[in-house]
């Protein structure tokens, strides 16, 4: 379904009208009829069919850093986030991760964008998901509204409700906005969620991680999609990273290919965090080469996803793919988690063929000589429009002629030297032959008209 077709379907002319119109439909009396008509379009409900529509028409990369999760990353997160039925999706966007991780349990999805919220509610309602959807700002911790998804036939519909008692989750997934600015970060110094420290105002990534950690059950799994900068940036972020490592919370780090997202080529990683781990190591996986080109974007195939998941499940060193590093090794690297420090994917380049290289060099020199001859011919035809301009043209021509003559002279000397070496290999020359050869070979000059 194209963007225009969807707009027509919900009865609007311009895409900017979508959030308000869709919210009106979802909270209205005819929502079941709307769901039924939408299902007749034969949509693939195994994924977020409106994600690309929303990102193209409403996504805000400038202010909100919105990059909605591609299908292959959703599948990878689903397989690595555990088997719990209940799932919390923080920074849910339009619900791609919630849909991928759905397993019939209770869902809670949180999103800060009022424009994304109606699409998120639609994705929950048409699939009959039980749970709730919250309009929540993670950084400030403020919840504006919560919608309970109440059953209506085989669907669910959003109904406003008050916030209940906070709970812990065994399964949390999140694709937060990358390196989002939070100018009021220091005002959160007393927020118990951020017990591992505050981030710089320009990089809020670890605030999102800590918010999710604060709601993770003792035997739960948190999978965060993050930019690579969290692995090595210093100062405040380094302090937080050290505390997370020393607390033995980071279970695995998986670097993904670049150019997976629709509107940005930024490479990201999956950081898996768990509490009460019995292991004192971190699995490093470099999956940056596990992709195929699909038009303008890269896509991880099912086989490549299988390979990454197998590396996580096996949890051992695999050449050019994974390494199990100890906390001592990480501390020895100054708490730097940059994946290339631990997984060597270097492939030596083959030694170039000598004859091919010489042939290429010869072709380049031939092309240079041809270009220089064409240039001197063109330069000789230049005429100054004033005496001063003509003087500049004449000087330029003389300068270029001298340059070519000197170049030709050096070439002739080199040729003479090669001839001399050849003759010395054949017969012993008479005294003075070499000098005479050089003089004869070096006497040629380029002629100019």
Higher pLDDT, 441 or 376: 376
How confident is the model at residue 420, as a pLDDT? 63
Q: How many CB atoms lie within 10 A of CB 172?
A: 28
What values do phi and psi take at 75, rounded to 5? Answer: -65, -40
What values do phi and psi take at 108, rounded to 5? Answer: -130, 125
How confident is the model at residue 434, as a pLDDT? 43
pTM over 0.85: no
Higher pLDDT, 254 or 411: 254
Q: Is 415 helix (H, G, I), strand (E, B) or coil?
A: helix
- 7: pLDDT confidence band, cut at 50, 70 and 90? confident
What values do phi and psi take at 195, rounded to 5? Answer: -70, -15
With DSSP H G I counted as helix, E B as strand and the rest as coil, what are the percentages for the chain, rounded to 5? 45, 20, 40
Do 51 and 36 meet the contact criterion of CB atoms below 8 Å apart? no
- Comparing C-alpha atoms, which of 134, 149, 125 is closest to residue 45? 125
Q: How many CB atoms lie within 10 A of CB 83?
A: 8
Place of tokens 């791609």: 96
The pLDDT tens digits for 216-259 are 999 999 999 999 999 999 999 999 999 999 999 999 999 999 99
How is residue 144 annotated by DSSP? E
Do 176 and 91 meet the contact criterion of CB atoms below 8 Å apart? yes
Do 85 and 104 meet the contact criterion of CB atoms below 8 Å apart? yes
Q: How many CB atoms lie within 10 A of CB 8?
A: 12
How confident is the model at residue 430, as a pLDDT? 47
Higher pLDDT, 346 or 138: 138
- 448: pLDDT confidence band, cut at 50, 70 and 90? very low
Residue 209 has pLDDT above 90, yes or no: yes
Q: What is the DSSP string of 261-287?
A: SSS----EEEEEEESS-S--EEEEEE-
Helix or strand (DSSP H, E) at 37: helix 31-39
| Alpha-carbon gap, residue 93 to 128, rounded angstroms | 18
How is residue 40 annotated by DSSP? T
Mean local confidence (pLDDT), 416-430: 56
Residue 276 has pLDDT above 90, yes or no: yes
Q: How many CB atoms lie within 10 A of CB 294?
A: 10
How confident is the model at residue 353, as a pLDDT? 79
Q: Which residues pair with 286 in a beta bridge?
A: 255
Q: Mean pLDDT of all residues in the chain?
A: 86
Residue 331 has pLDDT above 60, yes or no: yes
Region of poorest pLDDT, from 190-199, 283-292, 336-345, 412-421: 412-421
Residue 121, CA atoms < 13 Å, CB-side half-sphere: 29
Both ends of the chain: CA-CA distance in Å?
70
């Amino acid at each position: 379904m194209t963007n225009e077709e969807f707009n027509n379907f919900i009865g609007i002319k311009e895409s900017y009208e979508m959030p308000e119109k869709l919210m009106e439909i979802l909270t209205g009396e005819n929502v079941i009829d709307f769901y039924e008509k939408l299902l007749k379009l034969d949509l693939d409900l195994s994924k977020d069919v409106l994600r690309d529509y929303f990102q193209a028409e409403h996504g805000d990369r400038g202010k909100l850093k919105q990059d909605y999760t591609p299908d292959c990353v959703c599948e990878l997160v689903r397989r690595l986030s555990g088997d719990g039925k209940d799932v919390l999706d923080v920074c849910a966007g339009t619900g791609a991760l919630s849909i991928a991780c759905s397993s019939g349990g209770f869902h809670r999805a949180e999103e800060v964008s009022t424009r994304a919220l109606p699409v998120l509610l639609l994705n929950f309602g048409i699939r009959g998901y039980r749970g709730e959807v919250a309009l929540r700002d993670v950084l400030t911790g403020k919840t504006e509204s919560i919608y309970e998804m109440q059953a209506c036939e085989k669907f669910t519909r959003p109904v406003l409700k008050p916030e209940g008692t906070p709970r812990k989750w065994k399964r949390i997934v999140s694709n937060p906005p990358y390196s989002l600015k939070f100018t009021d970060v220091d005002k959160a110094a007393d927020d118990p969620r951020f017990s591992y420290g505050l981030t710089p105002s320009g990089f809020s990534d670890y605030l999102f991680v800590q918010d999710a950690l604060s709601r993770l059950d003792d035997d739960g799994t948190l999978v965060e999609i993050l930019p690579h900068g969290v692995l090595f940036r210093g100062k405040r972020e380094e302090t937080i990273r050290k505390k997370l490592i020393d607390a033995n919370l980071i279970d695995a780090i998986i670097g993904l290919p670049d150019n997976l997202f629709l509107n940005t080529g930024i490479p990201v990683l999956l950081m898996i965090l768990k509490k009460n781990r019995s292991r004192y190591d971190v699995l490093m996986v470099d999956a940056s080469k596990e992709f195929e080109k699909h038009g303008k974007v890269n896509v991880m195939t099912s086989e490549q996803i299988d390979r990454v998941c197998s590396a996580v499940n096996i949890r051992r060193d695999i050449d050019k793919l994974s390494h199990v590093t100890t906390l001592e090794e990480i501390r020895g690297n100054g708490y730097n988690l940059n994946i290339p420090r631990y997984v060597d994917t270097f492939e030596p380049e083959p030694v170039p063929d000598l004859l091919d290289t010489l042939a290429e060099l010869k072709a380049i020199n031939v092309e240079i000589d041809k270009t220089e001859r064409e240039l001197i011919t063109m330069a000789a035809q230049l005429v100054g429009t004033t005496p001063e301009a003509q003087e500049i043209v004449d000087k330029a021509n003389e300068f270029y002629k001298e340059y070519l003559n000197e170049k030709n002279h050096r070439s002739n000397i080199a040729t003479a030297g090669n001839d001399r070496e050849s003759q010395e290999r054949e017969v012993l020359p008479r005294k003075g032959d070499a000098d005479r050869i050089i003089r004869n070979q070096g006497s040629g000059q380029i002629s100019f008209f």
